[in-house]
């Protein structure tokens, strides 16, 4: 099959490899190079780097509004277009170009968590299950019928980064299964999404990283997990602004003002919340690296009496 692949971040790379395994990927579409790093140099996307390593033509349009960009896609004569975290909205006129339309690998169990940040929102909400859907794309935002899906359990202390990597691998497997069926002449049966259970995973915002100690400890623990490695939860503890890499919720009762450091020991820093206590286990000081609470206390002997 002649496949056009569209994707941008690390999450899409395993799916590109799966698409290229037994098919002809005639072109890879990805976001234009963006400034990154301290030097703000133009940097290619992870998908572009993978495509260049494989000798696949790379196309980087700003959008698909022009007739020229659509004609260029049409000239590739694609049997199928695979879209994985591409970052551009595809109009219906583009979705109609490939023989079998466009497939999307989405990191949630649709219709739950349509949108930009399904992995992090699932953890933030305390979901115990996630998964991947292979979806036939249509004009709406992640509204198309599901072709194949696979679920997995979310670990009790699993971070956004860890779940991201597992779902990226699972997405590649589900895509490979779908492509295998199509090569065998079997088109996966599209199953419409139910109207019940729709939720939206809005894009992450850096401002969300600032924790509010008035919230319950369980809510804050989920945020710490969800926002690791980005945007990384931040909070003030004992007068110091810290990034929180790892924390768990304790059901301990207290009468302290939210944000009060109740205890400090090798197991963690216990901070009073609106309900319960958040035990911070791994943290990062300004300009430093992630360290355990025990190592942090070596530099803050004044807290050991807390």
pLDDT at 21: 94
Backbone dihedral angles phi then psi of residue 253, each to the nearest 5 degrees: -85, 150
Per-residue confidence at 170, pLDDT binned at 50, 70, 90? very high
Residue with tokens 């349509």: 114
For the chain, what is the mean pLDDT? Answer: 96
Q: For domain 2-201, which CATH number applies: 3.40.50.12280, 3.30.428.10, 3.40.50.170, 3.90.550.10? A: 3.40.50.170
pLDDT at 89: 87
Mean pLDDT value of segment 115-141:
97
pLDDT at 47: 98
**Cα distance between residue 166 and residue 233, in whole Å:** 22
Residue 14 has pLDDT above 90, yes or no: yes
pLDDT at 305: 60
Per-residue confidence at 179, pLDDT binned at 50, 70, 90? very high
Contacts of 151 (CB under 8 A, 6+ apart): 109, 129, 130, 131
Q: Would you say 111 is a known binding-site residue?
A: yes
Strand pairing partners for 250?
Answer: 277
Residue 281 has pLDDT above 60, yes or no: yes
Per-residue confidence at 303, pLDDT binned at 50, 70, 90? confident
What are the Cα distances from residue 109, in Å, to 2, 119, 128, 253?
28, 10, 12, 36
Mean pLDDT value of segment 184-200:
96
Mean pLDDT value of segment 168-190:
97
Mean pLDDT value of segment 173-182:
98
Q: Would you say 15 is a known binding-site residue?
A: no
Residue with tokens 């597992």: 166
Per-residue confidence at 253, pLDDT binned at 50, 70, 90? very high
Three-state SS for 263-291 is EEECCEEEEECCECEEEEEEEECCCCCEE
Run of H or E including 221: helix 217-226
Domain 206-303 classification at class level: alpha beta
SS3 content of the chain, % helix, strand, coil (to 5): 30, 30, 40
Q: Would you say 118 is a known binding-site residue?
A: no
Residue 57 has pLDDT above 90, yes or no: yes
pLDDT at 173: 98
In whole angstroms, how large is the CA radius of gyration of the chain? 22
pLDDT at 287: 93
Residue with tokens 């971070």: 159
Contacts of 254 (CB under 8 A, 6+ apart): 262, 272, 277
* Torsion angle in degrees (nearest 10) through CA of 145, 151, 155, 158: -40
Residue 2 has pLDDT above 90, yes or no: yes
Residue 306 has pLDDT above 70, yes or no: no
Quote the percentage of the chain above a pLDDT of 70: 99
Q: Would you say 170 is a known binding-site residue?
A: no
Query: pTM, whole model, 2 decimals?
Result: 0.95
State pLDDT tens for residues 201-227: 999 999 999 999 999 999 999 999 999
Mean pLDDT value of segment 166-187:
97
Residue 304 has pLDDT above 80, yes or no: no
Residue with tokens 């993978």: 50
List where CATH 3.10.25.10 sits in the chain: 206-303
pLDDT at 167: 98
List where CATH 3.40.50.170 sits in the chain: 2-201
**Cα distance between residue 9 and residue 107, in whole Å:** 13
Mean pLDDT value of segment 273-294:
97
State pLDDT tens for residues 34-51: 988 778 889 999 999 999
Residue 59 near residue 28, CB atoms below 8 Å:
yes
Mean pLDDT value of segment 250-270:
96
pLDDT at 66: 85
């Amino acid at each position: 099959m002649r496949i056009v692949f569209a994707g941008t971040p690390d999450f899409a790379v395993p799916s590109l490899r799966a698409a290229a395994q037994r098919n002809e990927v005639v072109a890879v579409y990805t976001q234009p190079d963006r400034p990154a790093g301290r030097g703000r140099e133009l940097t290619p996307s992870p998908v572009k780097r993978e495509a260049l390593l494989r000798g696949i033509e790379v196309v980087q349009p700003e959008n698909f509004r022009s007739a020229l960009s659509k004609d260029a896609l049409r000239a590739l004569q694609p049997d199928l277009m695979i879209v994985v975290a591409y970052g551009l909205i595809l109009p219906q006129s583009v979705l109609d170009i490939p023989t079998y339309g466009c497939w999307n690998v989405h990191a949630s169990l649709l219709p739950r968590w349509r949108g930009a940040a399904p992995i992090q929102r699932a953890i933030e909400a305390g979901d115990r299950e996630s998964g991947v859907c292979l979806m036939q794309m249509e004009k709406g935002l992640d509204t198309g019928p599901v072709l194949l899906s696979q679920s997995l359990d979310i670990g009790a202390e699993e971070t956004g980064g860890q779940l991201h990597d597992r779902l990226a691998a699972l997405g590649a497997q589900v895509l490979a299964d779908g492509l295998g069926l199509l090569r065998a002449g079997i088109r996966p049966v599209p199953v419409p999404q139910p109207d019940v259970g729709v939720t939206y995973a809005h894009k992450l915002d850096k401002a969300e990283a600032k924790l509010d100690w008035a919230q319950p400890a369980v809510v804050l623990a989920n945020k710490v997990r969800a926002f690791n490695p980005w945007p990384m939860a931040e909070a003030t503890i004992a007068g110091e602004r810290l990034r929180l890499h790892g924390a768990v919720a304790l059901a301990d009762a207290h009468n302290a003002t939210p944000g009060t450091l109740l205890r400090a020991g090798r197991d963690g820093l216990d901070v009073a919340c609106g309900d319960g206590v958040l035990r911070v286990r791994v943290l990062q000081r300004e300009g430093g690296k992630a360290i355990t609470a025990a190592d942090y206390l070596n530099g803050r002997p004044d807290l050991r009496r807390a």
